[in-house]
Each structure stands twice: as C-alpha cells, then as structure tokens.
Amino acid sequence: MNYILNAYALQDLGYRSNQEDSFYPPFIDACQYEGKALRGSGKKGVAREKAYYDGTPHTDDRLFIVCDGMGGHARGEVASRIVTETMSKAILRSVSLEGAFNDDMVQNAVDEALDALIAQDDPTEVKKMGTTMTLLKFHAKGATVAHIGDSRVYQFRPARKNQPAKIMFRTEDHTMVNDMLHNGQLTVSQARNSNQKHILSRSMTSSRHYRPEVEINHITDIQPGDIFMLCTDGIFERMDDDALCTLLTDPNYDDVERAQQILHECIRNRDNHTAIIVRVENVINTEGQNHNDALSPGTVLKSENYTYHIEKVLGHGAFGITYLVTTNVSMQGQLGTIHTGVKVALKEFFMHNDMKRDGGELIEIAPESKVKQFSDKFRREASKLAMLSHPNIVRVLEVFEANNTIYYSMEYLPDGTLNDYVMARGGLPEQEAIGCIRRIGSALMYLHANKMLHLDVKPANIMRSESTNTLKLIDFGLAKRYVSTGEAESSANLGVGTSGYAPLEQADGNREQEFSPQIDVYALGATYYKLLTAQVPDTAVEVLNRGLSTMPLVKKKVSQKSIDAIKAAMEPTIAKRLKTVEQFLEMLPRVDDEQLFPQENHDDRWKWMSFAIVMAFLSIVAGVKMLHNDTLSTAPQEEVSVVDSNFEIPMVHVEGGTFLMGSDRKDADADEKPVRKVTLSSFSIGKYEVTQGQWRAVMENVKSTTSKNANYPMFNVTWNQVQVFIERLNKKTGRHYRLPTEAEWEYAARGGKKAVATNYSGDDSLEMVGWYADNSNRHPHTVGSLKPNALGIYDMTGNVWEYCSDFYAPYEGNDLRNPHGPRKGDYHVIRGGSWNSLDNYCRVTFRQDNSLISVTPDMGFRLVETR
C-alpha cells in the first residue's frame, strides 16, 4: 500500500519552565498561537509560547515519533531529543528501497537510542535521564505502532453511513496502575482513582541495568479519511478519549483547525503537551496495480434468482476477481414478506493473461481453449463449495453463468481477515489463538470427512465478523476433492500453496492423486504460529534444512505444549508429521488449564459488561421468539427466593426406562464406546442449570467470583464446592438433592422416553438449543433462553459444562441398571459442552473429564432430586 498523508503538529510549554517533549519530523511553516494570558499564570499579559505547525513533513519517509522527557527537569528534554533523533536516523537508515518494514528495525532503533542515552549520561547524576516514546510508521503492509511509557497513539475513523465515529486503535499506557489492573490487583474503579496512575512501569532511561521491552502493534485496516494522532500525556489533563474522537472527526474542521482546537481546549494544562495529527487522504493499492480488467462500480449482473450491483473490487487472484456487491433478498415472517438489500461477495472466473473484455462484456471463450478447460474446473469447484455446510466455512448463495463466464456469490464478512486482526495486535494471546485454531480445525475436519482438501490454509484466507465473533474459511481456489478410494476427483491441481504455510510435498506433481490431510495439518500448524507471533513461519525448505525457528514463540512466552504441537504439525518429513487435524488439536493445551492460564477475577469484567450482555440477551430473545414463538417456553424472569425450608428449584420428572448409552458413530470418540444397554429408575432433574441467584441464597456469605446476574448459570466452582452447596441446600429444604449420574444425565438430555435421535439435546440444529462458541459471543447466557428438549429441560447442550457424580473411566460393555461409575478416581465426568465449546463437544454422547479442584468460567451444574 501507498498512503497520501497530511500531517500537522502542535506543541505547548504549559506552565513548565522547559519543554521536555520532542518530535520527528521537523515541520515547515511554524505558526504561533496567540492566546491571552491566564490569571495567576505569572506571565503578566504576555502570551505563552503556543505553536502549531501546518503543512506537510519535509521528508517523504512517513515516519512520526513523539517523546516526553521525564522527571520535570532539563535532563528530560535532553533524553527526549536524543531518543527522537537516534531512532529516526536508525529507522531511515534501515528501511529498504521497497519500503519493507519489520519489528527488528524497531527493536534495533530502540537499542541504539538506549545506547545513546547511556553515552550521554552523567555517571555522577543519581536521577537518570528518561523519556517515553511513541512511533508511527506507514509502509507497504500498513502501519506499525511502537511505544514505551504513557504517551499514546490513536487511530480514529470519522462517521460513515450508518456508523458513528469511533476509535479504531489506541495504545495502552505502561503504568504501575495499568499493570496491577491487568494482574487483578486493582479494580477498574480503584485504578481510576489511584494516586499512582502516573508512575511508569516502562520507560527509556540511561540505566545500564534495565532495557525496557518495546510494545509493537500492526494496523492493516486503514481507510481514506482515517486520522492518526501521537501525543504526550499532557493532552489528557482536560481531554479524554471521547473528547479527542469527537474533535478530530468533526467534519466542520479542517486539518489546521483541528490543531488549533486542541490547543484551545488544552490552554489551561500545566504540563507540556505535544501532538502530531496525521490524516490519511488516500490509500493506493500498489499490489497488482493494473486492475483495468475488473468490472467497474455500478455494473449490474443478473442470474435467474438475483440481481447483483457491483460496488467495488475486494481482491484479485490468478483465476478470478472478487467483488463486493449488493443484491435484494426476500424474507418471510410474521409481518409478511420483507424485501431488503444485503451485501455479498461475488467471485468471477477471470484469467488475467488469457481473457479480455470488450468494454464491460467478456469476449466469449473458445470451446477448445485452455481457458474453457479451467472455466469448467472453476464451475465444478464452485458447485462443490456450494454443497458445503459448516459454521466455519463461508456459505455460497448460488453459482451461475453470465457475461460469458462463471460467477458464485457468497456471504460477505465485513471485518477483514484474521491476518488483519493478528497484525493489528502484534499476535494473539495463547488462549485466544487456541480458540481460533479449534474453530478452523473443525472446518478442516469437516472437509476431510467429505474427502476434500483446502490446500491454502492461512490467516489471510480466514474472514472475521466482529459482531458475531465468527471465523470463516474462504478461498477454495486450490481446493481438491477425492473419491472414497483416495483418488483425485477434483479437476484442479494441488498448486504450490503459500510460502511458509505449504509443506514441501505440495509442490510435488507426482503426489496429486493422493489424498493427504497432512498438507492441511502443516498449514494449520503454520497458521497457529502466525497467530501467536504475528510472523510468517520459515519456508518448508528452511524448516527442512535448519529446523523450525521457535525463538519467536519463546519470546511470546508460548507454552511448551503449543510449541510441541506446532513442531509436530510442521514436521517437514511426511512420515513423522501428524496425520490428522484431530491429532493436532489434541496436542494443544486446554484453555481451562490453570497452570498455563491462571484464571482472572471476573468481578470487574462482568460489572462493566453486564449492561451490554443484558441488552444483547434481550435482542437475541426477541429475535428468537419472533421466529420460534410456537416452540419456546417462558424462561425464569425473577431470582429464586428462599423462605425457611420452602426453597423451590424447578424440576422435571423423568420416567424411568431403558436406552442405549454411548455412540457407535464413526465420528464418535473412543470413550463413547461401546454402546451398552442401561436401565434407569425414575428421577427428577433440574429444569435449568443452577443459577447464581440460587447459589448466593444457599451459600449466603460465601464470596462468588462470578457476575451478579441472578439468572446466569453458576460457574467458576469446583466439584467439591458443589458438594458443599448440595449439603447446605438439603439441610435447608429437608430434601435429597444430588448431582446426576452420567447415565441419568445422558438419558435426560436425549429426552427420556420421549427421545428423538438428535445430535444435541432437543434438536439437530445447535443454534436452536445451545449457547456454544459460534453463537455465544464468548460468554454465558441467562438459563432457559433457547429451545428446551422433549422433556422441557433447558441448556443440556451448551451454556456451561455440567458436573456428573461419576468418576471418569472407560465404558464397560455390560448391560447395566442404575450405574454410578467407578468408586474412585482423579477426575469427574462433565457433560454438555459450554459457551466456549465447539459443536462436537456439545453432542449428547460426548464425554469430558475434569479434576476435583479445577475451576473454569464455563463449568456449572444442575441437580437431581430423589425421594
């Protein structure tokens, strides 16, 4: 990418005697801001030094740096100047002619600046020179942000059609208070009022014994009109984030007026304050610059079913062009038929070197040409893609012919690729990366079960939806299908894939007839590497010759389990590489592993999220009731109350009977087999999962670490804590509550004597009956808000895992009556999946184990009552 930028700077001395802020680059046309003297300023009517700088940088290197010297004395000014000058020279010296820019260049510049500070240091001074540092560099791949300390970098996006102005990105201050907040040592309110919130935990100083870690972020979502701002902390004496966003995105101000307005707003600030404002005037796509072959915006294409209006080009490939288009669809509901316009992506078969347009019309393809052969392949592959149905694979609307070529339309995800998201954050936390990989792994397992390879798995081929927290695998241009014998049915060849993600054998034409999921396994491992490090892995040749470089993983403090899994997936030798995606996913750490991922205190998080969650829930329930009003029962609306011994927990009677427990399906796990005949006596089971309101009422003064929504399921409790709850509940009520046995749980989840063979409890559509990874937005939901099963029991699929009384052990093949599992063990059975689970874990026969002392945010329970 190339960026046309307009940049402006402002600076104010404040009430300080010296200016400790420094910035790069120098600007032209310095202009003084003549403000009136303030009462008590000691200036006696003389205007304070205030200046804004209009014009553009006198260099074209698109590098901006702002530093704030520390300590309130003149040596802070020296430190900020040294860092600004040293880093700018180091970076401009190292940037390649092609504009390539990477993290090593930033780190090297920081190291040079630290060495320069030490060289200028007076060893007799007790108080060392120090400064904060912020950096913004535009380059071919987007923008890189680096910072140390509490000066900030922002990205603002002005209001667009149906979208308000918003902050797209903001650095996070390196302060003691912020660190304590993230570590759970302070609450949000305590942090906001702390008198230590300006004490830095990271800064650039002349100490020989301390080297701060620079935080680096990458931004790829940059649009014309976006405004970036680098500024020192003095700006925030009177302006917060919302005020800055409102001012800088106000369409009534031009660039110079924005600088003047900030100076005016900050006229009473005591501290120095400095800012550089950078407006992106235009973004020029320099990759494949000749796009004259594409259809122009406004072009209309028609199929038998839809009319498509082209808005813009989304991307180009060797065999096609993808457009953003709008089309009209009709939806039938209680209000009758509603016609509405929707945005979809449209892919056109177009070989750039072999196909031509006459105006907007494509010249007809000759029947015997190679283009005709490839167009037939494109049609077959598109038709096969249209038959796929998986929540993590892009959905195809239709395949059709028009304009002398082939098109297919598919759902459009507006929030960019997973690669954009990863680069903007400089890599993902390990737990978040694991969740992403498990979802894409699920899509690959589905493909492989249908004898299909993707052959180009990478973050750039995974689209995101921010609002639904959805990931979708796209771009099946290289995909290849095989018949059940493993022989190639697909017409496309393997292709060489993408460097860093493709194993050596993918380029071997002799292997085209062999069905090998190991190609996708290698790419999935490489994708996980990229999610964790924000770096593309070494090429397959480099991995073969020198081994996989794990240092970037180590620097990111990735667990050894994940490193081992990546190495096993990216093993260059086929015989030693993992054979299936399942094997790779099994090697990954569990996200509830407390040793690897200590659980945070969720009190504060739930406090500020509670309103958003309630509103989201209300909108979801409203939508679901409109569509499924005839199948939904009323969810509990009030917190359960306790009056002496009349504590009531809604129960559902389950008539005893005999059923086949377990599963003999091919995709069932080994511990779900063998299927055995089990006979159960009648019992009653909770209509809902035990709620937080019920827990608090019984446990009284026992502290809960969950949210305060009374009708959320209780979670973050161990199996042993549940036993204490049951003991107190039974004492209060005089009844006999307990956890269900595993057999009772599965019998009730299936629907007892009313059972219908479904994958999940109540339906084959998981969205209808359970909150899970793809629809939960990564949090639990009010109990009873989705469809119940045949017995009227809610949430036996999803929401939270549910404890059973049994210890975990392999099944025995004998027929059993009222089984209770083994008498001893280290792990108890949990069932049903949770808001954080993939669909496979939510099946009624799926079994999972959990330790007696493990506590996770997706672990809950329901009760059984026997008389």
pLDDT digits (tens, 9 = 90+) for 143-183: 999 999 999 999 999 998 778 999 999 998 988 888 777 76
Residue with tokens 């104010």: 12
Mean pLDDT of the chain: 79
Q: Would you list the DSSP string of 170-237?
A: E----BHHHHHHHTTSS-HHHHHH-TTTT-BSS-EE--TT--PPPEEEEE----TT-EEEEE-GGGGG
**The predicted structure's pLDDT at residue 367:** 75
In the predicted structure, residue 610 carries a pLDDT above the cut 70: no
**The predicted structure's pLDDT at residue 608:** 30
Mean pLDDT to the nearest integer, 711-721:
87
From 517-521, 597-601, 776-780, the region with the lowest mean pLDDT: 597-601
In the predicted structure, residue 604 carries a pLDDT above the cut 70: no
Quickly state the pLDDT bin for 257 (edges 50, 70, 90). Answer: confident
Structure tokens at 674: 């063998």
Which residues in 392-469 belong to E strands, given as ranges?
Answer: 396-402, 405-411, 452-453, 462-465
From 301-315, 441-455, 473-487, 523-537, the region with the lowest mean pLDDT: 473-487
How many Å separate Cα 285 from the centre of its chain?
26
Whether residue 234 contacts residue 11, with contact meaning beta carbons closer than 8 Å, is answered with no
In the predicted structure, residue 141 carries a pLDDT above the cut 70: yes
Angle at 147 between CA 146 and CA 150, to 5 degrees: 155
**The predicted structure's pLDDT at residue 679:** 96
In the predicted structure, residue 40 carries a pLDDT above the cut 70: no
From 164-168, 241-245, 630-634, 748-752, the region with the lowest mean pLDDT: 630-634
**The predicted structure's pLDDT at residue 330:** 61
- φ, ψ of residue 123 to 5 degrees: the values are -60, -15
In the predicted structure, residue 698 carries a pLDDT above the cut 70: yes
Whether residue 70 contacts residue 150, with contact meaning beta carbons closer than 8 Å, is answered with no
Mean pLDDT to the nearest integer, 565-588:
93
**The predicted structure's pLDDT at residue 206:** 84
pLDDT digits (tens, 9 = 90+) for 418-432: 988 898 888 999 999
In the predicted structure, residue 485 carries a pLDDT above the cut 60: no
How does DSSP classify residue 703? P
Pairing status of strand 452-453 against strand 480-481? antiparallel
Closest to 12 in 3D by CA, of 52, 58, 64: 52
In the predicted structure, residue 794 carries a pLDDT above the cut 50: yes
Mean pLDDT to the nearest integer, 84-91:
90
Could you give the residue ranges of the DSSP H alpha helices within 537-686? 540-546, 551-555, 560-569, 581-587, 603-628
**The predicted structure's pLDDT at residue 125:** 66
Collapsing DSSP to helix, strand or coil, 345 comes out as strand
pLDDT digits (tens, 9 = 90+) for 380-415: 777 777 777 788 888 888 889 888 889 989 888 877
Cα dihedral 496→500→503→504 (10° resolution): 70
**The predicted structure's pLDDT at residue 599:** 58
How does DSSP classify residue 841? G
In the predicted structure, residue 813 carries a pLDDT above the cut 70: yes
Quickly state the pLDDT bin for 743 (edges 50, 70, 90). Answer: very high
pLDDT digits (tens, 9 = 90+) for 321-350: 888 999 877 655 555 566 667 888 898 888
**The predicted structure's pLDDT at residue 415:** 78
Angle at 77 between CA 74 and CA 82, to 5 degrees: 135
- For 425: left if phi > 0, alpha if psi spans -120 to 50, otherwise beta; the answer is alpha
Query: In this prediction, what percent of the chain has a pLDDT beyond 90?
Result: 32
Residue with tokens 């390879």: 453
In the predicted structure, residue 533 carries a pLDDT above the cut 70: yes
Tell me the sheet residues that pair with 609.
none
In the predicted structure, residue 31 carries a pLDDT above the cut 90: no
**The predicted structure's pLDDT at residue 478:** 57
**The predicted structure's pLDDT at residue 663:** 93
Whether residue 62 contacts residue 137, with contact meaning beta carbons closer than 8 Å, is answered with yes
**The predicted structure's pLDDT at residue 580:** 93
**The predicted structure's pLDDT at residue 806:** 92
In the predicted structure, residue 805 carries a pLDDT above the cut 70: yes
Pairing status of strand 737-738 against strand 848-851? unpaired
**The predicted structure's pLDDT at residue 507:** 63
Distance CA 176, CA 173 (A): 9
Q: Which residue has the higher pLDDT, 619 or 42?
A: 42
In the predicted structure, residue 600 carries a pLDDT above the cut 90: no
In the predicted structure, residue 792 carries a pLDDT above the cut 90: yes
In the predicted structure, residue 128 carries a pLDDT above the cut 80: no
In the predicted structure, residue 856 carries a pLDDT above the cut 50: yes
**The predicted structure's pLDDT at residue 630:** 29
In one-letter notation, the amino acid at residue 450 is N
**The predicted structure's pLDDT at residue 126:** 58
Mean pLDDT to the nearest integer, 450-457:
83
**The predicted structure's pLDDT at residue 96:** 56
Mean pLDDT to the nearest integer, 98-124:
84
Q: Which residue has the higher pLDDT, 371 or 75?
A: 371
Query: In this prediction, what percent of the chain has a pLDDT beyond 70?
Result: 78
Residues near 58 by beta carbon (within 8 Å), at least 6 away in sequence: 25, 26, 27, 28
Collapsing DSSP to helix, strand or coil, 610 comes out as helix
Distance CA 65, CA 133 (A): 7
- φ, ψ of residue 180 to 5 degrees: the values are -65, -35
Quickly state the pLDDT bin for 669 (edges 50, 70, 90). Answer: confident
Mean pLDDT to the nearest integer, 188-209:
74
Distance CA 609, CA 780 (A): 12
The structure's pTM equals 0.41
The alpha carbons of the chain give a radius of gyration, in whole angstroms, of 31
Q: Which residue has the higher pLDDT, 219 or 337?
A: 219
**The predicted structure's pLDDT at residue 332:** 55
- The helix/strand count (H/E) of the chain reads as 19, 37
